Amino acid sequence: MSAFLAFLHHLAAFALVASLVVEFVVIRDDINARTARRLALADLVLGVSAGVLLVAGLLRVFYFEKGAAFYFSSGAFIAKLVLFFGVALLSIYPTVRFLRWRRHPNPVEAPAVRRVLHLELIGVVLILYFAASISR
């Protein structure tokens, strides 16, 4: 089970990065109903992978690996968790825009959304750094 959760955690992490990169690239296209549907689909993958990451991550923290006491005394783990929720908060703005654009595409809003996606990508890179630091 521990190996399966580690696999699921990595799979979801790769899916999250992939969907974020897709959004970052597609948002440079002309924003119309079609690109808005694509963005909303990539965003669904992003949301599902974030959910899987959180559930698999919490199961690893509390029931597998090194125990909750170890992780909650690790600065790298706390930093990773805080960044995770920071990125989750940032992702609300693009999600709301993508859903609205399916009915009312608004290219004027695209640069602001792209800047938020950029911040999310930076946040995820930092999360990967802290993930690697936890046990080292």
CA distance linking residue 72 with residue 51, whole number of Å:
20
Distance CA 1, CA 37 (A): 36
For residues 33 and 37, what is the distance between their CA atoms, to the nearest angstrom? 6
Closest approach of ligand HEM to the CB of residue 7, in Å: 11
Nearer to ligand HEM by Cβ, of 28 and 66: the residue is: 66
Rounded to the nearest whole angstrom, what is the least distance from the CB of residue 31 to ligand HEM in the complex?
26
- Alpha-carbon separation of residue 129 from 111, 117, 132 (angstroms): 27, 19, 5
Residue 110 vs 120, nearer CB to ligand HEM: 120
The residue whose Cβ lies closest to ligand HEM is: 57
Which positions lie near ligand HEM, rule CB under 6 A?
9-10, 13, 16, 53-54, 57-58, 60-61, 65-66, 71, 81, 84, 124, 127-128, 131-132, 134-135
